[in-house]
Structure 1
Amino acid sequence: MRVRIIEPIKSPELKRKRVCAYARVSTASDAQGESLENQTIYYQSLIESNPEYEYVGVFADQGITGTKGERPAFQEMLALAREQKIDLILTKSISRFARNTTIVLELVRELKNLDVEIVFEKENISTMNGDGEIMLTVLSSFAQEESKSASDNIKWRYRRKFEKGELAINATRFLGYDKDEYGDLVINPMQAEIVERIFNDYISGMGTFVIAKELNAEGVLTVAGGQWHPSTVLNILKNEKYKGAAKLQKTYIKDHLTKKKCINHGEVDSYFIEDNHSPIVTREMWEEAQQVMLQRAEAKGNMADAKEKYQNRYLLTGMLFCSKCGAPLRRRVWNSKYASKKIVWQCSTYIIEGKKSCPGTVIEDITVSKLTIKQKTVVEEVIKHGQKYYRYSGKS
């Protein structure tokens, strides 16, 4: 008798799906941070407890809006999917995945072509179902409109604040000020010394490059803790907050999808508040710094923006010229911190380059203001019997 052993038929092992999850919160607040942590724990447990799933990971972005595609964890997940290392993506809802309808549909179609399924738990939608794309189009449009509504509400609240003169300023982003317990700007004495020094050096003839170089050589750090650059110095000189004023809504967000920040050239309302807080430099010193910028821009031929902004600030700007070198006279305030301050018009070559380049011409504002000057005029100093007199002639 022959006995033949019949071995049991082995059923082929089912290939486990490689599964990951995506989670996102739009702000970095503690409450939402906890929510993100809870989502991560939830999805990891959900995937690892399913014998049909192979855990790939939970990709989480914190403090990043869903209207943009450049989320680091999101992009890392997409890269793995494109390398065909993911079969299934779980996510809480369409709005967590992306709020932009176009982004949602483009990614769904791309991943679907790679045989990567996305499941949106809240809406109970799988991208591999026949009606999935139709439902996605409708629901993601709602998510996008919800994002727009939230953005509009935030803008409205800020406008109401600005109209009331309430500031929304981050004092950690510019030098010289802190905020008190009421949210008001108060002078930081140590930082204010640096600001004053920059204004004094600039008005005395030093350029932004030299100022930045000296500050770096002395180990003085910017408010962000970095190195000084000419542009950093220039931004301080242009900042109206140092004379105690505040201009609100200098920038605006173009739209809720791109979140692109644009400089406000009149596209939306802006608000200017005089005497809002304690100044670090006098108004006269701040204005003089703007005049220096104007003169230097004129000397370099970069007058397009500067001239438009400042050419009408004083009636005699650009009208008076030095008889010795032909350079424009610039309005200056002598002893600006004291009661005995004097306003004069002085040769810009002398101010910037010193007496080696030009002996200079200077005339008091009170003297020249008595004249009726309607054309460009050369001012010449004449000494007679030990007294100074002036002679004027047309520049042409």
Structure 2
Amino acid sequence: MLRVALYARYSSDLQSDASVEDQLRLCRARADSEGWQIVESYSDRAISGASMMRPGLQGLLSDAQEGRFDVVLAESLDRLSRDQEDIAHIYKRLTFRGVKVVTLSEGPVSEIHIGLKGTMGALYLKDLADKTRRGLSGRVMQGKSGGGNAYGYDVVKRVNADGAAIRGERTINPDEAEIVRRIFRDYAAGKSPKAIAMTLNKEGIAGPGGNEWGQSTINGNRHRGTGILNNELYIGRMIWNRQRFIKDPDTGKRVARPNPESEWIVSDVPELRIVDQELWDIVKARQGTLERAKPNFWKNQRPRNLFSYLLKCGECGGGFAKISQTHYGCSTARNKGTCDNRLAMGQVKLEAAIIEVLQSKLMDPALCDVFCQEYTRHVNQVRRSHNAALAGHKRELKKLERDKARMIDSIKEGVPAEVIRDELIRTVDRIGEIERLIADAQEAPVMLHPNMAQRYRNEVLNLIVALNDEAHRHEAADLLRSLIDKVVLTPNPTRSALTVDVHGDLAGILAMAHKEKGGAPSRGTPPVSQVKLVAGAGFEPATFRL
């Protein structure tokens, strides 16, 4: 009996989970009719098929590598992916593992389906994007919204004579418009975006989308036209196509890219003006003055204190930052006024306590032996999969070299070169790809040093000493920070003091534990990416409370 894994996906958050359940139901019926044994079901909800970064798909590929099933069954090939490169990648990996791909629409999938359907899926996405942009640009040229809604406006809902919805119309919301004018007046009068946000939150005035007001909500990015103070719609000027979004092929996430001003589509909509021109000009002048006063400010910033950006509030999840020269406090409580954690802790006391935890508790000898056993067991499993893939690449390379030699011999014996030219080119390209994979892949080591805990403590002690050396202070601070995932400060039950929980970063701790005297990682040190993978399986160091 063939073992089958089911896969289902829907891409829009406007759809419902019922789409996935319907796909799985149809796949189960097909598997039952074929007499296949269903061993697992994978699904991704509200995630685009143009991205490989899908938990369900990644789980399917990982389990295929372990040989858990013989067939992958989906409703159609575009459920697996709409991207040409990705669908070929998925098919190639599954085929290499001896896993067949079957869909309800195409039946058993072959290379022909991959080529044709992959191209059709890519063209579908491009055509959809072009049609969407064309429709939105036409709407904007008519003075209507190109999508979304800005604070200060309401969406107008009405239909035409045929009963179809008329989209893109906006009208001013009087209450929100007054808040917008108030923000502009306060900023022009010298108040900071932080102070404005805190005042609005204290008064219980909801921000855009019903959320709290924040400094970035008001200030935004002047050059990209984001934030309340930079939205030109408030002066009756609608701008569309300021930026475009493209997907990072490695992460699948959308990344904003600014468009040249020549590609902007601008429409005058005086009926939507909220802020008068004089007030707008005053705000722009003040922004320009502040911008010139701080050239490249953020670009040149580095953590100002030893544990900057690692401190978190246990009540609201916001950051803990310096509230005076000597103390840390909750940023949300002080910047937005929406957190009740008003307690503070001295910088010297906090840093000393965290360093003591790093040195003495995160690698407790009593727990180290148990950890090493469990960690080694899990990494061995990762290594087996890694080395199996490496061995597979080496076998494939030998076969390709034989095929290449055979084709060359055929040409020497008189077979016309054009007959086998394409196949020879594909073979040579694949040989190059496999050689690069083998060159980049090394046998995955797993051994942990028996004196790991003691070596870790010695390294931390050296870093603490280096903090007092001006020449090495920054490097030592960066290394110490790499040992920490986060530090959470929470009021105790009586709210008389802060309780501090230090969360260790497994990758940084193990890298430190495996360091040799010269400073380089010792042989046999697990790669950081491998450490992160195992950490995800539940082997993060314990949290230690001060």
Q: 2:107 aligns with which of 124, 129, 138?
A: 124
Counterpart of 2:49 in structure 1 is 66
Q: 1:161 aligns with which of 131, 135, 139?
A: 139
Counterpart of 2:10 in structure 1 is 25
Q: 2:124 aligns with which of 134, 139, 146?
A: 146
**Secondary structure of residue in 2 paired with 1:74:** helix
Residue range with higher mean Cα deviation, 198-207 or 59-68: 59-68
Aligned-pair CA distance for 1:48: 4.4
Q: Give the conservation status (yes or no) of the 8 Å contact 2:242–2:260.
A: no
Q: Rg: which structure is higher?
A: 1
Change (3 A) 1:274 1:155: closer
Q: Give the conservation status (yes or no) of the 8 Å contact 1:147–1:256.
A: no
Change (3 A) 1:254 1:51: closer
- Tell me how far apart the structure 1 counterparts of residues 281 and 210 of structure 2 sit (CA, whole Å): 28
Q: 2:26 aligns with which of 19, 39, 42?
A: 42
Q: 1:285 aligns with which of 263, 273, 279?
A: 279
**Cα deviations by residue, 1:142-188 (Å, 9 ceiling, x for unpaired):** 332233223222222223323333322312xx322111224422222
**Secondary structure of residue in 1 paired with 2:117:** helix
Change (3 A) 1:52 1:37: closer
Q: 2:81 aligns with which of 98, 115, 132?
A: 98
Matched AA of 2:212: Q
Number of corresponding residues: 279
Are 2:230 and 1:242 equivalent residues in the alignment? no
- Tell me how far apart the structure 1 counterparts of residues 126 and 204 of structure 2 sit (CA, whole Å): 46
Change (3 A) 1:256 1:145: farther
- Tell me how far apart the structure 1 counterparts of residues 294 and 234 of structure 2 sit (CA, whole Å): 26
Counterpart of 1:214 in structure 2 is 199
Are 2:170 and 1:178 equivalent residues in the alignment? no
Aligned-pair CA distance for 1:29: 4.5
| TM superposition score normalised by structure 2 | 0.46
Matched AA of 1:167: S
Counterpart of 1:111 in structure 2 is 94
- Tell me how far apart the structure 2 counterparts of residues 217 and 36 of structure 1 sit (CA, whole Å): 43
Q: 2:177 aligns with which of 154, 179, 192?
A: 192
- Tell me how far apart the structure 2 counterparts of residues 267 and 194 of structure 1 sit (CA, whole Å): 30
Q: CA RMSD in A?
A: 3.0
- Tell me how far apart the structure 1 counterparts of residues 270 and 7 of structure 2 sit (CA, whole Å): 46
Aligned-pair CA distance for 1:297: 1.3
- Tell me how far apart the structure 1 counterparts of residues 31 and 138 of structure 2 sit (CA, whole Å): 47
**Secondary structure of residue in 2 paired with 1:277:** helix
Matched AA of 2:282: E
**Secondary structure of residue in 1 paired with 2:271:** coil
Aligned-pair CA distance for 1:34: 5.6
Are 2:289 and 1:295 equivalent residues in the alignment? yes
Counterpart of 1:54 in structure 2 is 38
Counterpart of 2:497 in structure 1 is none
Change (3 A) 1:103 1:263: closer
**Secondary structure of residue in 2 paired with 1:89:** strand
Q: Give the conservation status (yes or no) of the 8 Å contact 1:209–1:229.
A: yes
Aligned-pair CA distance for 1:62: 4.2
Change (3 A) 1:138 1:117: same
Q: What residue ranges of structure 2 are gaps of 5+ in the alignment?
A: 159-167, 220-226, 298-546
- Tell me how far apart the structure 2 counterparts of residues 287 and 82 of structure 1 sit (CA, whole Å): 62
**Secondary structure of residue in 1 paired with 2:273:** coil
Aligned-pair CA distance for 1:259: 7.6
Aligned-pair CA distance for 1:267: 7.2
Matched AA of 1:92: E
| TM superposition score normalised by structure 1 | 0.62
Q: Give the conservation status (yes or no) of the 8 Å contact 2:140–2:267.
A: no
Are 2:60 and 1:77 equivalent residues in the alignment? yes
Aligned-pair CA distance for 1:33: 6.5
Q: What residue ranges of structure 1 are gaps of 5+ in the alignment?
A: 1-15, 127-131, 304-396
Aligned-pair CA distance for 1:103: 0.7
Q: Give the conservation status (yes or no) of the 8 Å contact 1:67–1:100.
A: yes
Q: Give the conservation status (yes or no) of the 8 Å contact 1:185–1:277.
A: no
Aligned-pair CA distance for 1:266: 1.0
- Tell me how far apart the structure 2 counterparts of residues 293 and 37 of structure 1 sit (CA, whole Å): 52
- Tell me how far apart the structure 2 counterparts of residues 63 and 52 of structure 1 sit (CA, whole Å): 28
Query: What are the within-5 Å matches in structure 2 for residues 253-272 of structure 1?
Result: 253-254=245-246, 260-266=254-260, 269-272=263-266
**Cα deviations by residue, 1:92-115 (Å, 9 ceiling, x for unpaired):** 322222111111111222222333
Matched AA of 1:199: F
Change (3 A) 1:180 1:299: same
- Tell me how far apart the structure 1 counterparts of residues 48 and 262 of structure 2 sit (CA, whole Å): 23
Q: Give the conservation status (yes or no) of the 8 Å contact 1:242–1:281.
A: yes
Are 2:208 and 1:223 equivalent residues in the alignment? yes
**Cα deviations by residue, 1:187-234 (Å, 9 ceiling, x for unpaired):** 223323322221111000011222223333444442133333322111
- Tell me how far apart the structure 1 counterparts of residues 49 and 255 of structure 2 sit (CA, whole Å): 17
- Tell me how far apart the structure 2 counterparts of residues 107 and 134 of structure 1 sit (CA, whole Å): 15
Matched AA of 2:138: R
Matched AA of 1:44: R
Counterpart of 1:275 in structure 2 is 269
Structure number having the greater strand percentage: 1
Q: Give the conservation status (yes or no) of the 8 Å contact 2:154–2:172.
A: yes
- Tell me how far apart the structure 1 counterparts of residues 196 and 281 of structure 2 sit (CA, whole Å): 19
Aligned-pair CA distance for 1:23: 2.4
